[in-house]
Structure 1
């Protein structure tokens, strides 16, 4: 009898075998080709010659493989990313709250020369921070200090930049000087110097070479003044070529600059490239007895970085919550 092939049975044969188990087909001899029916498995699954059985999905389609769980990054791996985001946010905040100014005169030489472009931080005053001794600040003309000075004629680029707020308008009258005294200070000059603040002599390496810290004249170069609260006493670094607080003591503010007129602090020389430099506060203003800058003011100057970090915290919290939620599904 040998091997039995499974084929179609007549209806009569079906009646005879009804209720009886169907005999299992005998495997084909080695090397013999299998029939089309033999290519299926007993439970209806189809096997591929290169792989094992695949689970069926709905309607006989293969079920989708379960999604791989995303491993959460460690905090230390995310830290550089967070720092990078904070720096970018700080840069964006500062970029839209910084204004460029062009230097038209020699009153701040050699710290600033004619045609230098400086960037002025306008953000920190929003948080209540006031100018400190030694800072270079830009301020609106308090009382016709620029009377008789020629009006600048801007080029096309400067006109566009002033229109979008990155440079001052040609109609604005702004000056740039160094803050020497703040509210409550006593500032004085006798003979050729040194310049004194609250009785402490200042070492001023930024004064223009060949100039003396104080000017010997009867027009304001010799003085002793008390700075009122809410005001500043300012002087140019080119002492013998600067019309500053000394020479405006007859105006309505007595030569002082109201803090409310300050646009912001000049923080860097941005142009030309060979002149690029920062504008830090000289060490002489940190000496004991000058009531050096308070920690509160220092904290306010870090406002852009603080805002950037504060903005990141909710984003990081939301991202980590979302990752944890995905892992528990």
Structure 2
């Protein structure tokens, strides 16, 4: 056996080993990303336009399964409260226990007297709300508004109840991180609330999960493609070498 042939076979075996490692690692990342996502996130379909333009009717969202005690101002959450109806609802948290919420001052929502910039609203305005009288959110509860302020059935329609339109933190089922369909991606960061005590929530692990899935798929494809490509390359080298031996 010629030295050239032995070298070629050695390279082929090393390539096969690397190919197998790439496929195995790719499968781990790809399947692991999906399993991780299924454990951490729950998909929901939004039934109305009350969160427009951030989320439209019929959009499919991904909500991270977190405890209601972790929710902060500005979060978009899925919650269910029987006094609001039987189905899960999607709204934005604008006040937490102890906050004084009102609207509008210079067209802006105020929380504890601070005007809140809300660029995620249509035109960036809150003035379409007919008005929220100054309301203090009870301890352990959350005050919700829809991003479509003029038509959302949110805390503003429950202001006269004993809890001033608020909902218990325990009613929260998850925090929405992204719109999965249509593929609008991650929700905008609610920066208008970050100067208030407690700040705002950081995004969940959705991006690392998607990265794991994409990288895993790439490694599987590259590893699987190595065999046919390497075989074709060996045949080409063999045909090129035949005239030289003659």
Length-normalised TM-score, structure 1: 0.49
Relative distance call for 1:230 and 1:91 in structure 2 (3 A) is farther
Map 1:18-37; keep pairs closer than 5 Å.
none
Partners of 1:96 and 1:90 in 2: CA distance: 10
What is aligned with 2:148? 238
Map 1:212-227; keep pairs closer than 5 Å.
212-213=126-127, 215-216=129-130, 221-227=131-137
Q: CA deviation at 1:233?
A: 0.6
Is the contact between residue 69 and residue 169 of structure 2 (CA under 8 Å) also seen in structure 1? Answer: no
What is aligned with 2:185? 277
Is the contact between residue 111 and residue 237 of structure 1 (CA under 8 Å) also seen in structure 2? Answer: yes
Secondary structure at the aligned position of 1:177 is classed as strand
Which of 160, 182, 193 does residue 250 from structure 1 map onto?
Answer: 160
Partners of 1:121 and 1:185 in 2: CA distance: 25
1:134 and 2:74 are equivalent in the alignment: yes
Relative distance call for 1:209 and 1:130 in structure 2 (3 A) is same
Q: CA deviation at 1:285?
A: 1.4
Is the contact between residue 120 and residue 188 of structure 2 (CA under 8 Å) also seen in structure 1? Answer: no
Between Structure 1 and Structure 2, whose CA radius of gyration is higher? 1
Partners of 1:198 and 1:214 in 2: CA distance: 20
Relative distance call for 1:116 and 1:85 in structure 2 (3 A) is same
Q: CA deviation at 1:93?
A: 3.0
Is the contact between residue 121 and residue 265 of structure 1 (CA under 8 Å) also seen in structure 2? Answer: yes
Which of 176, 184, 197 does residue 90 from structure 2 map onto?
Answer: 176
What is aligned with 2:217? none
Is the contact between residue 119 and residue 266 of structure 1 (CA under 8 Å) also seen in structure 2? Answer: yes
Q: Deviations over 1:58-96 (max 9, x none)?
A: xxxxxxxxxxxxxxxxxxxxxxx99x9689646523313
Is the contact between residue 94 and residue 121 of structure 1 (CA under 8 Å) also seen in structure 2? Answer: no
Partners of 2:82 and 2:106 in 1: CA distance: 27
Partners of 1:180 and 1:209 in 2: CA distance: 18
Q: CA deviation at 1:198?
A: 1.7
Q: Which runs of 5+ in 2 are unaligned?
A: 1-23, 209-246
Is the contact between residue 78 and residue 90 of structure 2 (CA under 8 Å) also seen in structure 1? Answer: yes
Partners of 1:88 and 1:284 in 2: CA distance: 37
Q: CA deviation at 1:238?
A: 0.6
Give the structure with the larger strand fraction.
2
Relative distance call for 1:198 and 1:291 in structure 2 (3 A) is farther
What is aligned with 2:174? 264
Is the contact between residue 191 and residue 222 of structure 1 (CA under 8 Å) also seen in structure 2? Answer: no
Q: Deviations over 1:237-293 (max 9, x none)?
A: 1110111111111234320011001110111111124xx211243211112x44414
Q: Greater RCO between the two (CA within 8 Å, min separation 6)?
A: 2
1:102 and 2:80 are equivalent in the alignment: no
Length-normalised TM-score, structure 2: 0.64
Secondary structure at the aligned position of 1:113 is classed as coil
CA RMSD of aligned residues (A): 3.2
Is the contact between residue 286 and residue 292 of structure 1 (CA under 8 Å) also seen in structure 2? Answer: yes
Partners of 1:177 and 1:108 in 2: CA distance: 7
Which of 187, 194, 205 does residue 286 from structure 1 map onto?
Answer: 194
Is the contact between residue 188 and residue 222 of structure 1 (CA under 8 Å) also seen in structure 2? Answer: yes
Q: Where in structure 1 do 4 or more consecutive aligned residues deviate above 3 Å?
A: 84-91, 209-214
Give the structure with the larger helix fraction.
2
1:198 and 2:116 are equivalent in the alignment: no
Q: Which runs of 5+ in 1 are unaligned?
A: 1-80, 147-171, 306-329
